[in-house]
Amino acid sequence: MEVKTKSLLDNMIGVGDMVLLEPLSEDSFIENLRKRFDHNEIYTYIGSVVISMNPYKSMLIYSPEKVEEYRNRNFYELSPHIYALADEAYRSLRDQDKDQCILITGESGAGKTEASKLVMSYVAAVCGKGQEVNKVKEQLLQSNPVLEAFGNAKTVRNDNSSRFGKYMDIEFDFKGDPLGGVISNYLLEKSRVVKQPRGERNFHIFYQLLSGASDDTLKKLKLDRDFSKYNYLSLDSAVVNGLDDATSFRTVRNAMQIVGFMEDEVQSVLELVAAVLKLGNIEFKPESRCNGTDESRVKDKNDLKEMCELLGIEQSVLERAFSYRTVEAKLEKVSTTLNVAQAYYARDALAKNLYSRLFSWIVTRINESIKAQAKTRHKVMGVLDIYGFEIFDDNSFEQFIINYCNEKLQQIFIELTLREEQEEYIREDIEWTNIEYFNNAIICDLIENHQNGILAMLDEECLRPGTVTDETFLDKLNTICAQHQHFESRLSKNSKFLTDHSLPHSCFRIQHYAGKVLYRVEGFVDKNNDLLYRDLSQAMYKANHSLIKHLFPEGNPAKVNLKRPPTAGFQFKASVGTLMRNLQTKNPNYIRCIKPNDKKAPHIFTESLVCHQVRYLGLMENVRVRRAGYAFRQAYEPCLERYKMLCKRTWPHWRGPAREGVEMLMADLQVPAEEFSYGRSKIFIRNPRTLFFLEERRRQCLQDLATLIQKIYRGWKCRTHFLLLKKSQIVVAAWYRRYAQEKKYQKIKRATTVVQSYTRGWQARKLLRELKHQKRCKEAVTTIAAYWHGTQARRELRRLKEEARRRHAVAVIWAYWKGLKVRREYRKFFRANAGKKIYNFTIQRIMQKYFLGLKSTLPSMSPIDKNWPVRPYIFLDGVHTELRRIFHLWRCKKYRSRFTEEKKAVYEEKLEASELFKDKKALYPSSVSQPFKGDYLEISKNPKYQKLNSSVDEKVLLADVVNKINRANGKGATRILLLTKKNVVLADQKTGQVKASVALPDLTSVSVSTQNDGFFALRLKEGSASAVKGDFLLSSEHLIETITKLHHIGSAASDGEQLNVDIADEFLVQFKQDKVCVKFIQGAPKNGNGASCKRKNNRLLEVSVPASA
């Protein structure tokens, strides 16, 4: 017998379908949700849309009995439930051959993932059985734990929050049995890999691996169970109540095996997860180069080494990729060093890309296992579990593209809902009227327009040459989107926002369908670029790991692509476009998930939070669109069955067609004709008041019918009760008489038993007294015997102790006598050898004390430390001196061993400078503490000197700005001095044009003064090609370094012939055909504190050097 279950309109708590809510307002909408939530009614309809409130507790509404209750039932036949929507979608797919999609939206913690699981479990329960079908169903269901482990994380809003969007197409055959599926993932939150907000965790798999893997597995992966040893794992929420990471890890391993992962594939995945953890522990330190720039170096290489061993990468290759970046153009490669901040950026970018690509590979691998094998056409049911609309205090690039996706979903929801309404009206032959609604296509166009859309401008800004920042991107938005009615910015040309202090200068605001959202542009460009240095991709491709090469195909040197990879915004826009086209080919079903509170606690309903979600989910808009035509519709048969008691002609049975019965019913109730319309198979009711009027009349009628039924039932019950009492009185009397006789017999029997018991008791007590007397006698004999035996034993013990004491005394006396004899014999021997032994012992103790004291008072390891401990004894004088010499040689050797090749070269130059100028040049002491940088202009990096750098074929060893002295007036002209291994080059500072180039073998000597100035003369060989214009008189701020490098390189270029350095306050300089004397004198400071040059006559240049300089 079929059990009648509660329908949508029976005993409603609040209103089960928001379309019937009267009056309709946001307050009444929220109040209806609260009322149903307080009574554990977590599902509510808006037409065919299901609103799901997260109860934050287990509920007994998902049992197998509930599945059978909703199976093959009309959508509105029972109370609202997610099973009703799942059943409607499945039956439409199976019976009507319509592809379906179920769109699940809502913010984090609203229960989207659980809703998708319930839909899939219901479909799995109601579809066919069989070994192959069960295997497919199990694989589809077991894909969830794998994706949750790698794509879900604990957030402040949800302990199992999906940090990616998922769309699964489940494919069915003509019978409705599942054949397989295809999963698509969208926008994994890979920034969580390297940084998590306070109170949140990284992805589950990291904690599951460390908690649940065996010790042997962790040893192979070079991991430790302690979370605190990994920088990428937050510690404040490492352990979550209600989550058993160890058990979850075993569940994930089992699920991967069921889905079809091979054991070596599982091991490869775990190795990559371990590599990400190791990657987070790599830290960098700055190291200065000789040209003054900073570059990064790995601090502790142990984690780097272990990571490289896991992935099969050469350590030196990956270490170089963290320190250098190579930029490739069509004809050249430029390699630049990375500072510490850039190295950390590269490390985090690699970690994010590695994990993101691993996740995409897992999704692809699952698709290979669960895809349908048959080639015939399949029926498809899609399940979309994606982020809901997000409005935070601080909204960035992630929220922007998530909200863009929700704008597209809202657009397709309105289009498909209106299309479904219109099709039903046409099918039922009801006149269609246009519905006014807000079309958010203008907002979608603002974001995705190919020319002036925000995403297009962001891509254009990322790809253009020159300086690109978030501020330049905002400037472009302010210029192009200023007049758009849904775009707001304080810096735009639209003057009405200039005084809006709620708009910070670095933000812009978009008026979405769900409300206004303020976006901070900081990070938009970097997150859209999603840049991974090519050096790291190539390093990953060189790995011997079986999986890494597949994840980084762009690292293949044979397939180098100089084009920039597509941006994150471009990829997401293309994915959303594909998703929208896919959804438009299917019949949509909607589940809107709402989170009642932020505390993740049951029975708490936060009105402001729910109101916020109702707005951005567009639920009020959904109700208005649904109510724009007819608010309620119902087939004729159930309508007549429900309301037939309201008309005497249709009650209790109507024999004709159902439509005629409904027409008779509505005419008898005198419902106005404009309030309803008759379709082909349904009646359409325009206003919810009309439906409530019918329900109220039905309730009153049911009460009258119930009263009549109660009256008849009570009369029948009273008559039946009287006859039962009459029959019972006869039975009771008979039983009472029997009972009285039995009671009298029992009383006599009890009295006899009492007398017998007293007699037996007296006899037993008498016997007990006799037995106790016998027992006491036996115990007395035993006690006396025990005391006697004890006395005898104690006497024997005293005798044995006395005998033992006597034997011990004899042994002690004998031992003392033997010792006395031995000592008398030894005294004779000791007197002959005692002196020598005492002397050797004393010397040995003195030496031991000396060496121990020397060990504790050793001086520092500095070679210039002259301290040495005082000699304690005269006879150790030679040893003391020799030990001091050996120690000094040893610490000098230790000090030298710490020098790198670069430091040795620097110190050699400093030593050469000392040999040349010490005690000869007054400028020398101030240059000792200054490091020799060489390239002061950074000529290889500075784009200003790119032309000059390309004109010099050799490596530039020194690049500095000098002054070339003019013999005519003694004034200086600024020049760039470049020193290579073969030439000295002088170039114009402004144009970069080479003015002169002197081969080093043509230099004969360099002349400088003894004073504190920077003047020097380059003397050239007479007759050489370089000496046409004569010698060069120059002035440099780095004189000591310049002359030292010239002397060192000039000697090497001249095959060992030393370049002379003449130091004198007067020397001759050859200018073309004339020789000019350069004379240095002490003078008063002019033009600041520098030396000045002045022409005296045709043969004399006088250089005045300040005395205070």
Q: Would you call 162 a catalytic residue per the annotation? A: yes
Would you call 161 helix, strand, or coil by DSSP?
Answer: strand
List, in order, residues 6 or more apart from 826 with CB less than 8 Å away. Answer: none
In sequence order, what DSSP letters do the residues of 5-58 get, joined into one string?
---SSTT-SS-SBGGG-SS--HHHHHHHHHHHHHTT--EEEETTEEEEE--SS-
Name the DSSP letter for residue 966. Answer: P
Q: Would you call 326 a catalytic residue per the annotation? A: no
- Which member of 32, 161, 268, 492 is catalytic? 161
Measured distance CA(355)–CA(372) in Å, rounded:
28
Measured distance CA(636)–CA(680) in Å, rounded:
9
Q: Would you call 109 a catalytic residue per the annotation? A: yes
Measured distance CA(382)–CA(170) in Å, rounded:
6
Q: Would you call 28 a catalytic residue per the annotation? A: no
**Roughly how many angstroms between the first and final C-alpha of the chain, as a whole number?**
115
Burial class of residue 1040 in the structure, from the number of CB atoms within 10 Å of its CB (0-12 exposed, 13-18 middle, 19+ buried): buried
User: Residues 321-326: contacts with CB within 8 Å, 24+ apart?
Assistant: 321/346, 321/533, 321/535, 321/536, 321/538, 321/539, 322/282, 322/284, 322/296, 322/298, 322/346, 322/347, 322/536, 323/295, 323/296, 323/297, 324/535, 325/533, 325/535, 326/534, 326/535
Amino acid (1-letter code) at residue 335: S
Q: Would you call 1060 a catalytic residue per the annotation? A: no
Residue 479 and residue 415 in contact, taking contact as beta carbons nearer than 8 Å: no
- Which member of 79, 143, 144, 162 is catalytic? 162
- Which member of 108, 356, 395, 537 is catalytic? 108
**The tokens of 317 are what?**
């290759």
- Which member of 181, 382, 388, 1050 is catalytic? 388
**By C-alpha distance, which of 628, 588, 595, 634 is closest to 612?**
595
- Which member of 22, 283, 390, 424 is catalytic? 390
**By C-alpha distance, which of 162, 280, 163, 174 is closest to 232?**
280
Handedness of CA 594, 599, 601, 604 (dihedral sign): negative
The answer to whether the bond into 652 is cis (omega within 30° of 0) is: yes
Residue 683 and residue 662 in contact, taking contact as beta carbons nearer than 8 Å: yes
Residue 675 and residue 615 in contact, taking contact as beta carbons nearer than 8 Å: no
- Which member of 44, 48, 105, 113 is catalytic? 113
Name the DSSP letter for residue 929. Answer: T
Would you call 101 helix, strand, or coil by DSSP?
Answer: strand
| Residue with tokens 């950390």, as numbered in its chain | 344
The answer to whether the bond into 23 is cis (omega within 30° of 0) is: yes
- Which member of 16, 47, 109, 453 is catalytic? 109
| Residue with tokens 């603002």, as numbered in its chain | 446
**The tokens of 342 are what?**
């850039």
List, in order, residues 6 or more apart from 506 with CB less than 8 Å away. Answer: 470, 471, 474, 520, 521, 522
β-sheet bridge partners, residue 203: 153
| Cα distances (Å, whole numbers) of residue 211 to 198, 252, 314 | 22, 13, 30
Alpha helices for 182-262 (secondary structure H)? 204-212, 215-220, 245-259
Q: How far is CA 584 from the centre of its chain?
A: 33
- Which member of 79, 158, 980, 1042 is catalytic? 158
**The tokens of 529 are what?**
């670029």
Q: C-alpha angle with apex 320: 314 to 325, nearest 5 degrees?
A: 135
Residue 1032 and residue 1017 in contact, taking contact as beta carbons nearer than 8 Å: yes
Q: Would you call 161 a catalytic residue per the annotation? A: yes
List, in order, residues 6 or more apart from 677 with CB less than 8 Å away. Answer: 430, 431, 630, 683, 684, 686
Question: What is the pairing mode between strands 507-512 and 515-520?
Answer: antiparallel
| Active site positions, annotated | 108-109, 113, 158, 161-162, 388, 390
